[in-house]
Amino acid sequence: MKNILLHMAMMILAAVPVTGAAQGNAVSSQKTIIQTTDSVVIDSITGTAHIKYPISMADIVEGYSNNAIEIGRISKELQIIKADPTLTLHGLTIHGFGSIDGPYKLNEKVARQRTDSLAAFVTNLSDLPDAIITTLSTAEDWENFKQFVEKASADQLPHRNEILRIINGTREPDAKEWLIKSTYPEDYKYLIANCMPQLRRSDYTIKYIKTSHIGVSKSVIVPETTTAAVFVADTVSTQAEKKNSSFLYALRTNMLYDVVLIPNVGIEVYMGKRWTIGLDWFYTWFSSDNRHRYWQAYGGYLTFRRYFGQTSDLRPQTSAFTGHHLGAYVLGLTYDVEWGGKGYQAAKFGFGGGLEYGYSKKIGRKWCLDFTIGVGFQDGEYKEYEPANDGTGHYIWLSTKKRHWWGPTKAEVSLKWLLGVKKGGKR
C-alpha cells in the first residue's frame, strides 16, 4: 500500500423513496433521523532510540549492544496503533543525529546513511509503506552538545566557560571541535566518554489519527403522502483489516566450491516456524585433451533445515535464517576427474544423503555467513582409467568399481544474501 486514505465517513439516514422489498410504511408525522458523524483527533508519540553501530558501518545489527531493545520501543508503539481499530497510522518521522567528534563531511554522510538504514529497518520490521515515512538527519548535534556543557559542573569541565565561548563562536564545526580538543584535552576526554554517546541517536515521531463515532439527532419533516424507510448503517472502522504475507528467501554460494573452481548457486526458502528448504546446484566442465586433464562435475543438494538461533520478534524475516541449525539432505552428482595420471569417471549418476549441522551468522543487514558440515552416505559406480601416452588421445579402461561411502559428504562455508518479496492487501 503506497498511500493511506484517511476516511471521514458520514452516514446519513434519510427518508428516500423505495420500491419492492425495501418499501416502508407511509408516514404523515414528523420523524427523527439519526445521523452518525466522526470526531477526529490527530495526536503523536515521540521517543528516542539510541542505536549503536559497529565502527564505519551504517547497517543496523540487531544483536549488537542493546539495539534490539531500542528498536523494540518503536515496534511496540506501532503495534499498539495497529491493534486499535480506532487509530490510523498517519506518519513516521525519523531524525538521526551525530556527535561533534570527527570530520563534519564524514559525520554528515554517516548520519544520513544511518537514518535511512533505521527507516528501512523499521519499514521491513512493521511492514510500513514508504510513503508515510520521513527521514531527517543532522550531521553534528551542537545544540545538545552546548546544553550538556552548560549543565556540567566545574569539577567535570574545569574550562566549561572557555568551551562555551568556542561553541558560541563563528568558526566552522571542524575548527571548533579541533580547538576544544587541542586546547582542553582533559575536558575533551570527559566529553568523549560522557557526552558524545548521548548525541548519537535517532528521534522518532509517530503521528496517528484517532476516530470516534458520535450519533447526532436531527429532525427531518417527511411529507404525509411520502412512503419512506429508515436504514441503520453499520459502523465503519477507520482502519481496515490488513492482510499480508511474505515470500522470504536467501540466495547463496558455497565458497569452498568456488575456491576449487566449481561454480555453484543455491536458494533457501523460508516455510514458516523457522523451517527452510534449500536447493543447491554446482557445475564445472574444464578439460584439456592435449594434457589429458579433466575437471568435470555437476550435481546438487536438496536440504531441509530447522533453525534454533535466538528468535527475534522484531525481525523474523532475517532471524529465521540465522543461528544454529540442523537438517537433512539428499545429493546427486556425476564427475570425471583426471589430472595427468589415473582418472575417475562416474559410470552413472550417483546419489546419497545425510544429516547436517551448521551455524549461520549475520555479517550485515542482508548478509549471512553459513558454516555447515554433513555426514552421511554416497552410493554409485565409477570407472578407473589412464590416458594413453601414444599421442592418440585415447584412454585405457582399468576397472569399474562400486562406491559405498559413509562419512563426511557435505561441507559449506556459504555466503547468503537475504531477500524477500512482500505481498500486501489494502489497508
How are beta strands 31-49 and 87-97 bridged, if at all?
Answer: unpaired
Which of 181, 189, 139 minimizes the C-alpha distance to 163?
181
Q: How far is CA 95 from CA 48, 135, 314, in A?
A: 9, 6, 21
The structure's pTM equals: 0.43
pLDDT by residue (tens digit) across 234-275?
333 333 333 444 678 889 999 998 888 889 999 999 888 888
What is the full per-residue pLDDT of the chain (427 aa) written as tens digits? 334 333 433 333 333 333 333 333 433 344 444 444 455 666 777 777 778 776 556 777 777 778 888 888 777 888 888 888 888 887 888 888 888 988 998 888 888 888 888 888 777 777 777 778 888 989 899 999 999 999 999 999 999 999 999 999 999 999 999 999 999 999 999 999 999 888 888 888 888 887 765 544 444 444 443 333 333 333 333 333 334 446 788 899 999 988 888 899 999 998 888 889 999 988 888 776 666 677 788 888 999 999 986 544 334 444 678 889 999 999 988 888 887 678 888 877 888 899 999 999 888 778 889 999 999 988 888 888 887 776 666 777 777 888 788 889 899 999 998 887 444 433 3
By C-alpha distance, which of 96, 81, 100 is closest to 4?
Answer: 81
Q: In degrees to the nearest 10, what's the CA dihedral of 301, 417, 243, 126?
A: 140
pLDDT in tens, 275-314: 899 999 888 887 766 666 777 888 889 999 999 865 443 3
Helices then strands, each counted (H, E), the chain: 9, 14
Q: Where are the beta strands (DSSP E) in 197-322?
A: 201-220, 244-254, 264-272, 275-288, 293-307
